[in-house]
A and B are shown apart, each in its own frame.
Chain A
Amino acid sequence: MMPLLAVGALAAITYALRIAGPLLAERATVPAAAQRLFTSAAAVLLMALAATSALTAGHDFAGWARPAGVAVAGLLAVRRAPFPVVVLVAASVTALLRLAGIH
């Protein structure tokens, strides 16, 4: 199903992407403006990944239970609840909604 080769390929590509930034930064000085842009890019990517993984499954809508759980967790995060609480609430709300027949 998913051969060792595929896992190895993904690992190699991922490592190359990780090491490229530091290597590039060593050879050429990264301008302060570019560094700030990359910092913002990181924030944008985090939010996009959070939104797509909350709302979608494959190419489709993930259903209501998961986004609802993540939304409640997001509210707690804004109120600075500890990380484990945020995560457990996300799973619990989602599980309870599904138990109630809301998917």
Chain B
Amino acid sequence: MRLQWRTDLLSDTALVRDVALVCLADGIVGVSFGATAVAGGLPWWVPVAMSLLVFAGGSQFAAVGVVLAGGSPLAAVAAGAVLNTRLFPYGLAVSDVTSAGGGRARQWGTRLIGAQLVTDESVAFALRHTDPARRKAAFWTCGAALFTVWNISVPLGVLAGSAIRNTAAFGLDATFPAVLLALALPTLTDGRTRVAAIGGAGAAVALTPLLPAGLPVLAALGGLAALWRPRRRPDADGAGDSQAVRRPAGHAIPVRSNR
């Protein structure tokens, strides 16, 4: 199995190139994170340990942001945890690629490692493809490369942050939303998903002054109501979707590896 996706991977230069570009971009974000954390006064090991163990940029920024703004560690954990609840639907969306063939022990090992590699980026890459082998190659290549790059760039940022005090002057805070936007935009080809995402994003921003950190992003899921439409047949759900039901948003995510 492993050999198989490795072969696919080598033949897929577009994937390797795209993953390399995302890694370079996230490397810049990682440097931003490490620098922001220590420039704000946190000890060096906090961003480093978070990057290894939490490995989720959004929640790392959120948790550190809460602490640097004077919040309690409990509030920081809550903010990061709520933000990471999106990893649950992500895990469901890519559950077919985090497992592998082989013996039982190996299956478990793969699943446990694969779970840690579930991120915005690796999931976005997997969702670009419908073919199982390509989904798998995209997920594992992106996930493993990103884990490596993230855990090199954050310590580099820690070193930089000890030298530079004013990270805002370099616009480093704009790097994380830019990466997210660049990841999200290609997934919005379908009209309904676009409406859902834009409506949800608007609601999240509007609710930010009112709700505790992390909750507004979850409230955006209300935008999914845009996907609702009356059923034609009561048994149209589930299998056999290709005939009775027009494919909604999810699978309309573009296969863009050939660009």
Identify which of B50, B92, B168 contacts A7 (C-beta below 8 A): B50
Contact B25 A40 (CB under 8 A): no
| Nearest CB in chain A to that of B81: its residue | A13
Q: In the complex where A33-B237, A48-B204 touch, is A91 in contact with B98 (Cβ < 8 A)? A: no
Fill in one digit per residue for B215-250: 1 if any A CB lies within 8 Å of its CB, else 0. 011101101100100000000011101000101111
Q: Given the complex, which residues of A lie within 8 Å of B168, measured CB to CB? A: 98
Contact B204 A51 (CB under 8 A): yes
* Stretch in B7-15, B157-165, B170-178 touching the partner: B170-178
Contact B115 A48 (CB under 8 A): no
Residues of A6-40 whose CB lies within 8 A of B: 6-11, 13-15, 17-22, 24-26, 30-40
Contact A43 B184 (CB under 8 A): yes
Could you tell me the distance in whole angstroms from the C-beta of A73 to the nearest C-beta in chain B? 4
Which residues of A come within 8 Å of B, CB atoms? 1-11, 13-15, 17-22, 24-26, 30-60, 62, 65-66, 69-70, 73-74, 77-78, 80, 82-84, 86-96, 98-99
Given A6-B73, A14-B55, A77-B182, 6 new contacts (CB under 8 A): A14-B87, A25-B95, A47-B198, A51-B205, A74-B181, A91-B171
Which residues of B come within 8 Å of A, CB atoms? 18, 21-22, 24-25, 28-29, 32, 41-43, 46, 49-50, 53-56, 58-59, 61, 63-65, 67, 69, 73-74, 76-77, 80-81, 83-96, 98-99, 111-112, 114-116, 118, 120, 123-124, 127, 168-185, 187-188, 193, 196-198, 200-205, 208-210, 213, 216-218, 220-221, 223-224, 227, 237-239, 241, 245, 247-251, 253, 259
